[in-house]
Structure 1
């Protein structure tokens, strides 16, 4: 279980500036939080010890010791990617149910799409997307696949989606075209990709509406966003899980379809007709064509096997 689950509650985004500083320090220094006293943590963070007590209460703990124990548990179960992979191997050798443990974590991640976000949140984001001039989708590293999926799914029901890429070094050009009428759906989870955060900051400076799909209400993306959609990413494997983020993406595109009305249906019908006209998807082949194809393959194989073999001692002209 990730320490970031402490801060995935939407209530975490409502922390006072002082409590936010304390929470951010804990999130960035989990090892120190697990090892040191409250006073020492406060000294290192440059905050009053009472601030950490109030933060613990805000997060549902009786005191700082309960919060500290949580970090100690996480420290014992998490580590660098290599260490986590080694732990997974060790667990698999001792316990045949490692797959079941992973499955349970994945189910919890999928459920987080609804437990951490309300229908009203999805509806609000969907309405903003449908009203925007252009909707940009940005995700890097592990989040790029999510951005691509969300862009593709959204493109089936709306024409104003743009996937932000860096092909040919053109990402800066795409970011520069964003304006106050546009919306940026930006995705990242800890450890947050630096280039993603910088791109989001640029978009904010240009007046773009930001939708953050992220794993913590305290993430740098969530703090600058007009809308945030949260997910859990815990995993018993060596890498963070992306299924929670994918569940959020699918819920969001479903909300767009629901909110879009006839306009969405008309666009989707046009896309479907175009795909059908281009033969985009594999379809049933009639028996005659299938038989011809099989005969061609058999003939090709036979022509190869029937070629005369050269005697290695025979000279050729």
Structure 2
């Protein structure tokens, strides 16, 4: 049972002082996660003893257990999985569940469209078209997007590389970056350190760093020359995937039409490769 439900269960059995503590907890749970019982008492206008007795009244062993419960629940609520689960529970009992999930995706893309800055998009595309080397970094939940972007962008532009911390020599890869390179760093909530470090070192090498992230104040912003905070409002990182892939598709489309000559060259090479090596004719692999 969540703390909110526990408090509602015992609320009318609490003294007036304990109800003040309960109200303060419901209003500002973060304060309880970081402050002492004495500080909470001062903020709520009651004694430290009243705070302790409140814990006993809702059947907890003391203030330490209350803090532990609050921290665990805040962590769950702020996790991608927690937000994802909560958002789906809200519509689980309603009709047309799957339609509603997809409708939420459409709403998210519409919201993202309203945030698009065409000037910044064109600036990024120009940098990508001019670049001698393009590097894509994204770890954890961002890896699938980084992998897709590296593959798809590589179909329309040469010298595109996915940076992988599990198989690549990162220092060797970074040593090849210079002022003619662009790093696209995809980094969302939980902000894995590897992506941040790669962006920091790429910037030292003189590369242009494009940050694709959730909020303007995320860690990647410090090292980004061009920043796209495409999800400034709190959402599950899992639910961001639809909007993120739509955004990345727009990036690839922009490079394709801007780099039309280069695209035609890449297209010819790609088709020649498949024609000579991968198509099956007469039952034989050519």
1:252 aligned residue: 251
2:71 aligned residue: none
> Match of 1:213, SS?
strand
Cα distance in 2, alignment partners of residues 228 and 91 from structure 1: 33
Contact 2:216 2:229 in 1 (8 A): yes
1:104 aligned residue: 103
The higher-RCO structure (CA 8 Å, 6+ apart) is 1
Deviations 1:264-316 (A, max 9, x none): 22222221221232226xx8x98xx7xxxxxxxxxxxxxxxxxxxxxxxxxxx
Contact 2:215 2:232 in 1 (8 A): no
> 1:136 offset after TM fit, Å?
0.4
The alpha-carbon distance between structure 1 residues 263 and 224, as it changes in their structure 2 partners (threshold 3 A), is: same
1:94-173 to 2 correspondences below 5 Å: 94-168=93-167, 170-173=169-172
> 1:155 offset after TM fit, Å?
0.9
Cα distance in 2, alignment partners of residues 193 and 92 from structure 1: 31
> 1:234 offset after TM fit, Å?
7.5
Q: Cα RMSD between the aligned structures?
A: 3.4
Contact 1:109 1:234 in 2 (8 A): no
> Match of 1:217, SS?
coil
Contact 1:91 1:98 in 2 (8 A): no
Deviations 1:117-175 (A, max 9, x none): 23332221111011112110001011111111111111111112111112445223212
Long gaps (5+) in structure 2: 1-27, 40-73
Contact 2:196 2:219 in 1 (8 A): yes
> Match of 1:136, SS?
strand
Cα distance in 1, alignment partners of residues 134 and 173 from structure 2: 12
Contact 2:189 2:214 in 1 (8 A): yes
Cα distance in 2, alignment partners of residues 137 and 203 from structure 1: 11
The alpha-carbon distance between structure 1 residues 90 and 219, as it changes in their structure 2 partners (threshold 3 A), is: closer
Cα distance in 2, alignment partners of residues 249 and 142 from structure 1: 15
1:307 aligned residue: none
> Match of 2:263, SS?
helix
**Counterpart check, 1:273 vs 2:272:** yes
Cα distance in 2, alignment partners of residues 212 and 82 from structure 1: 23
Cα distance in 1, alignment partners of residues 120 and 263 from structure 2: 20
